[in-house]
Structure formats: structure tokens, C-alpha cells
Amino acid sequence: MKNLRCRCTVLALAAIFAVGHTSIASGTYCACMPKPPAKMTKDAKADRDKFDLGQKVFNGKTPPAPGDAATQRTRLETLQRQLPEKTAKKKDLTALAGKLSEQQLEALEYFIQQRYPSSR
């Protein structure tokens, strides 16, 4: 009886230690300190504003502005080809022809250049 109790105790302790060690190891740890954000310059601020405007145009959250549909269509077709295949199926940029100002179109070009740099 004493022998059985001793075995059960040893098995219980072994199970506790086995489960306890696996629950502690829950992932990796990087000992390096995070890098501070880069200082914002005026150029970086302007680029951020341009990127934000381009993102709004891409998502359809800007009001339409009059523009030349013929010249915009060729630029928008070029941008459409730069999109990844999955995104190009969902988004038809040529539908925006004639509805964008020059500033909005430049911002959209900048956004796509930054957002999808290695596409096709």
C-alpha cells in the first residue's frame, strides 16, 4: 500500500512538472530595444498628407471633383496594371476617370506606388 501511494505521488509530481514547464514557454522573446520613431521633417509630413489623400481617393471617401476624363483614364489604367491581381479584381480605378482633381490623381499615384511597391 505504501509502495502504491509513493508511485502515485511520483506520477502526480511528474505530471505537474511536465505540464507546468510547457505552459510557461509561450513564445519568443526579443532582447533588443524598440527603435524610436524617426523625426518628422516637413517633407515627410507632406508625403504623409499626400499618402492619406491617396488612400481616401482609393477607398472612395473623397467628393468627386471635375477633371479631364481622357487624360485621367490613361493614367488610371496604368495604375490599375500596377495593382496586385487580387486587389485589381476588386477595385476598378478607371471608373474614377473625370471625377478626380489633379491633386487627387497625384496623391492616388503616390499611394499606389507606396502601398504596392513590388506589384507585377
Enter the pTM of the model. Answer: 0.63
The C-alpha angle 54, 87, 51, rounded to 5 degrees, equals 15
Closest-CA residue to 98 (of 61, 55, 65, 69): 69
Q: What is the phi/psi pair of residue 52, to 5°?
A: -65, -40
Residue-wise pLDDT for 68-120, tens only, equals: 999 999 999 999 999 999 999 999 999 999 999 999 999 999 999 999 886 44
